[in-house]
A and B are shown apart, each in its own frame.
Chain A
Amino acid sequence: MHIVVCAKQILDPETPASAFRIEGDRVVPAPGIAPVLSQFDAIAAEAALRVKEARPVGDRITVLSLGESGAAAIKQVLAMGADEGVLLQDAAFEDGDSHGTALALAAAIRKLGDVDLVVCGRQAADWDQGQVGLLIAESLDWPIVTVAQSVEAISDADLRVRRVLDDGFETVEVGLPAVVTVSNELGAPRYPRLPQLMAAAKKSVAAWSAADLGLATGDVGAAGARLRLARLARPTHESQVEMLTGTAEEQAAALVARLRADGVL
C-alpha cells in the first residue's frame, strides 16, 4: 500500500495575537517566530504510520507539501517515519487558495501513480478552512471520509474509519483509493526517534514544479485563486467591568437582572 500524507508548515498558532502585524492583505509575524508543522497534519502522519505498522512490511509513506517552507514539514514527517518526501515548489504556487493547493497536490498524487490512500489533517491550524482534503478527493474523484478518530486497513483494498460526530462516533468502511482527513481525537503524534531524525535530515527530497505536474500557471497560485480576501483584522478582546453595589441580596438580584438583559440567562 502506498500512503500519501499532506503536510503544511504554518505560522505558529501559539504565537500571541499581539505578535502579529497586518500589512495590507498579509499577516506579518514578529521576527524570531518560527513556522511549525500544522498539528493536524502531524496527526495525519501519525494515522498513516499506524496503518503502515499494523500491516505486513512493504507499505510506503510519501509526504507531500507545497511551498518553500514545506521542506521543514516534510523533514519532520520523515523523522516521524515516512519513507519519502516530495516538495511542490514553484513561484506559480505562491499566494494560492485551498483550491489551487488541492489541485497541485492532486496532480502530484496522480503523478506518483500507485497511491492507495491520502491522509490529511482535518484543517490547517492557521486558517482553519478545512477545504484541501475535500478538494483533493474531488479533483481525484475519490471517496473521502472526514474527521477520523481512527483509521485501519482491513484489507489491501478496504479501510475502516471511525469518525467523530457531534454526539458520538460513526464507523464506516470505504474502498481504496480514498482520502481521509483526521482529527485530534486520533491521539498525539509520535515523537521522532533520533536515528530516524538524523536519517531524515540526510534524505533528499524531490522537488516538483507546476510544469512537472502538468499544471498551467493560471490554474494555481494567485492567478488560479477563487477566494477573494475581503478584510483582514486582528481580533481584539475587550472586557468591561461593572461593579454592583448594595447588600448581597441586592447584588444578586442586580446580577440576575443584568444577565437576563444580556440574554445570558
Chain B
Amino acid sequence: MNDRPTAAPRPPRVLGAWWGAAVGVSGLGLVSAFEASARGATREVFFNVEAPWSVYACLAALLGLLTYGLVRHAALWRLGRPAPEVWRDLPSRLRNALRLGLGQQRLGRDRYAGVMHACISSSIVVLTLVTIQVAIEADTPFHPLHGAYYLFFSFYGDLFGLVGLVGVSMAVWRRYFIEQPPRVRWDERIEDHLIIAGLGLVLLTGFLLESARIEVTELSQHPDWAPWSFVGYALARFVRVFAFEPHQLLAFHGAIWWVHLALAFSWLGLIVFTKLDHLLFAPVNAFLLRTDSPGRLALIDFENRPDDEAPFGVGHIQDFTWKQLFELDACVRCGRCTSVCPANIAGQPLSPMAIIQDLKSHLASTGPAIAEHRHEVGGIGRDAVNVQMVGGVIEDESLWACRTCGACMQECPVLIEHVPTIVDMRRFLVMDEARIPATAQAALENLESRGHPWRGTTLERTTWMQGLEDVPMFDGTQEYLYWVGCAGSLVERNLPVTRAVFRLLRESGASFGVLGQEETCSGDPARRLGNEYLYQALAQQLVATFAAKGVQRVITNCPHCFNTFKNEYPQFEGRFEVLHHTEFLERALRDGSLRAVHAVEEAVTYHDSCYLGRMNGQYEAPRAIIEMVPGANLVEMQRNLSRGLCCGAGGGNMWLEERGGQRVNHVRSAEAIATGASQVISNCPFCIQMFEDGTTAVQAAGAERMRPFDVAELLERSVFGAPVAE
C-alpha cells in the first residue's frame, strides 16, 4: 500500500527507441545530405533533398506509434463502466468541443497562459497545414503553391512560425526565469522541458532551413519573392554575412532539413508518451463534458443493480465510468485546479491535481492486470491487483476535505470533472465501507432518524415564526412555497435571515406559504457526504410531499436546497420552478413591489456561495440587490464571481472536522476583512455561520468585528429600517 507510485509510469523502453530512431534517421540524413550537396542535386519543393520519401516513412512511423498508443490507452479506458450519457445532447457537446476544446476558452482565465498557449497551439495547427500543402504540392497532381497564393503562403507560414516562437519564449520565460506561478513546479517532469525545448528547436530549425533555401535559391532567382517569407529572409541576410560558399550552404541546408524532419516527428511522437497527448484528448474531453448542471450528481439506480456484489460507490479503478478514466489521461498537470482549491489553499491534505494524477498512475500500473483477469469466473478482476485505491492510493482524508465547491472543475483547461469522481469515492467510503468520520456519521444518523442534520438542536421548525403574525401555511392555493430549510429553522443564527426573507416576501405582496413542521431535509447533505441511498429516500419523500401539496414554484432560503431542487429533483421527476430568495427579491425590487428606502451606510463585501454562484451561475441578482440599497457600498474581494473561494462548509464539511493547515473559513474571512468593509454579505446559511466563526477568530484584537449578514438581512434594514424584534 505504501509503494504507491506518485508519477505516471512511462514506458521508457519505447520512448528510448523512438528517440533513438529519431537520432538515427537524422544522422543518416546528415550523411546523405552532405553527399547529395556535393553532387549539387536540386529539386523544386524537396529542394536539395535526396530521399523525400523519408518524410512519408516518418509519417507512417508516427501514425503507427499513435495507433499503438491509442490502442493501449483504449484498453485501459474500456475497463470502466458504461457512460451512456455521453451520446446524449450532441449539439451542446459539439459546441463544447469547438469552444472549450479547440477554442481553449478556459485557458483565458490565466491571461498569460492563455496567450502563450494560443500562440503555440495556433502555430502548430497552421504549420501542420503548411506542411500538408507542401506535401500536396510535391506529391500530388495538384499544385496550390504558385503565384500570389504562394507569396501569401510564404507570409503566413513565417508569421505563425514566429507566433509559435513567441509562445515558446513566453513559456521559457515563465517556467525558467520568473518561476511564476508556483503551480508549474508542483509536479514537474522531464517531459515538460522536453516539450518546450523540442518545439522551440523544431521552429528554429524550420526557420534556419527556410533561410538557407532563400539564400541559395530565391535571393538569386526571385529576390522579389523572398521578403514574403519575412523571417527566413531576414535570417538569410544575416547568414549571408558569413559569406558561406554555395556548396557549404547546400550542405548546411541538407543537414538542417534532416534535423528539422527528425525533430518535428520526434516531437509529435511525444503525443504518445507525454502530456502532449492533450492535443488529442482535450478536445475529446470537452465533448465528453457533462451538458447538464455541474451541480447535479449522478443517480445510482438501487433497484436495478448489475449484480448484488456490485459496489455502490467507486472503490476500484474499474468502477469508474470510462469517461472518468478517459479524463484522467487528459490531465496536463497544470495545477490550476489545486491552485484554486480552498482545502489546498488552507493547507489541508487535498490536491485535486494529485487525485487525478494518482488515479491515472494507478490505472496505468494496475489496469493491464485487471484487464487480464476481468473475464475470469466469479469476478471482474476486482481483486486482481493487490493495491488499495480508496484508503491507499487516494487517502480518506483527501476525499473528506473536498468542499464539492467546483472551483477545480471551473478552472480545468481540459474540462476534467473532479467533483463527481471525488463523490463517487466518498460513496464507496460511506455506503460500501461505512468508514466515516464520527461527526459526519452523526450528521447522517441524525438525517436518518430526525430528518435534519443538526444534531442536538433545541429549536423546532416553527421556532422562527415566534413574534411573526399569521405565517401562512402552504396549501396549494398560493403561488409560491417559501422553503425555509433545516439551517434556516434549526440553527439559531439563521432565524433572523428566515424572518427577514419572510417579512420581505410579505411586504412584496407575494402569494406564498410555508410548510413548517412538515419540512424535511432536501437530502443535499446526505448526497454530498456520499450517502446516495439516504439522499434518495429523503428526496423521494419530499418530491411526494411537493406533489401532494401541489407545489409549482419554490423560493428557497438556502443555495444548497436551491441547487438540489433545481438540478437534482428532476432526476425523480420532481419539476417545479425554483428561485433562490435573492432572485425573487431582486425581481421584486425591480418591479417596484419592494422599495429599498432606508439608507444603510456601510461598506460591504459580497461572498459568492459556491452553489448559487459557480454551480448555478447566479452572480448578479445578489449584487444587484446590494447596489439598490441606498448607502451600501460594495467592495469586491480579490477572489470573486466564478473564482470565489468556498467558505469551507460545502460538501458536508459543515459536519466534518478540518484536518491539517488552517481552517478554510479563517482564510476566507481574512480575505473579506482585507477589503476594509464592515460587513460581509452572503446568501447562504452555511456561509454565514462560517463567517461568524471565522471573523471572530481572524480579526485583529481591538478592531471592530466584521459582521456577516445575508443579502435579505441587508435588504430588510433598507426596506423596513430595522429587523423585527424577536
Contacts and interface: CB of A to CB of B under 8 A. Distances in A.
Nearest to B431: A194
Contacts of B436: 191
A197 B532 CA distance: 13
Interface string B156-194: 000000000000000000000000000000000000000
Contact of B434 (A16, A34, A192): A192
Given A193-B431, A193-B432, A34 B441 contact: no
Residue of A16, A32, A36 with most partner-chain B CB within 10 A = A32
Nearest to A35: B449
B533 interface: yes
Contacts of A192: 434
Interface stretch (B212-220, B272-280, B452-460, B713-721): B452-460
Interface string A27-65: 000111110110000000000000000000000000000
A12 interface: yes
A18 interface: yes
Interface string B407-450: 00000000000000000000000111110101001001100011
B460 A193 contact: no
Nearest to B308: A195
Nearest to B446: A14
Given A12-B449, A194-B533, A195-B432, A32 B518 contact: yes
A30 B302 CA distance: 33
Contacts of A16: 458-460
B304 interface: no
A254 interface: no
B140 interface: no
B632 to A, nearest CB: 37
B517 interface: yes
18 contacts: A12-B450, A14-B450, A14-B455, A14-B457, A19-B460, A30-B460, A32-B518, A33-B450, A36-B449, A188-B438, A190-B434, A191-B441, A191-B444, A193-B431, A194-B312, A194-B431, A194-B432, A195-B308
Given A18-B460, A194-B533, 12 more contacts: A12-B449, A14-B455, A14-B457, A19-B460, A188-B438, A188-B441, A191-B444, A193-B434, A194-B432, A194-B434, A197-B533, A198-B302
Contact of B445 (A19, A31, A32, A191): A191
A191 B302 CA distance: 19
Contact of A31 (B441, B458, B517): B517
Contacts of A198: 302
Interface in A164-221: 188, 190-195, 197-198
A164 B105 CA distance: 64
Interface of A: 12, 14, 16, 18-19, 30-34, 36-37, 188, 190-195, 197-198
Interface of A is mostly: loop
A160 to B, nearest CB: 26
A34 B447 CA distance: 11
Nearest to A19: B460
A234 to B, nearest CB: 14
A14 B459 CA distance: 10
Contacts of A18: 460
Interface string B294-315: 0000000010000010001000
Nearest to A196: B434
A236 to B, nearest CB: 15
A34 B450 CA distance: 7
B432 A34 contact: no
A188 B312 CA distance: 24
B544 to A, nearest CB: 15
Given A191-B445, A193-B432, A30 B517 contact: yes
Nearest to B433: A193
Residue of B450, B518, B533 with most partner-chain A CB within 10 A = B450
Contacts of A14: 450, 455-457
Residue of A14, A18, A37, A194 with most partner-chain B CB within 10 A = A194
Contact of B517 (A32, A34, A197): A32
Given A14-B455, A19-B460, A197-B533, A191 B434 contact: yes
Nearest to A193: B434
A193 B444 CA distance: 13
Contacts of A19: 460
Contacts of A36: 449-450
Contacts of B302: 198
A191 B449 CA distance: 13
Nearest to B455: A14
A18 B459 CA distance: 9
Contacts of B450: 12, 14, 33-34, 36
B312 to A, nearest CB: 6
A194 B460 CA distance: 30
A70 B482 CA distance: 37
Contacts of B430: 191
A65 to B, nearest CB: 16
A256 to B, nearest CB: 30
Contacts of A188: 438, 441
Nearest to A17: B458
A77 to B, nearest CB: 14
Interface string B496-522: 000000000000000000000110000
B450 to A, nearest CB: 6
A201 B479 CA distance: 40
Contacts of A33: 450
A192 B449 CA distance: 14
A34 B520 CA distance: 12
Contacts of A195: 308, 432
Contacts of B456: 14
Contacts of A12: 449-450
B174 to A, nearest CB: 48
Contacts of B445: 191
A198 B312 CA distance: 12
A8 to B, nearest CB: 14
A-B complex: 9 closest residue pairs judged by Cβ atoms: A194-B431, A191-B434, A193-B434, A36-B449, A16-B458, A191-B441, A32-B517, A191-B436, A194-B533
Nearest to B449: A36
Contacts of B438: 188
A16 B463 CA distance: 11
Contacts of A31: 517
Contacts of B308: 195
A142 B513 CA distance: 60
A62 B550 CA distance: 45
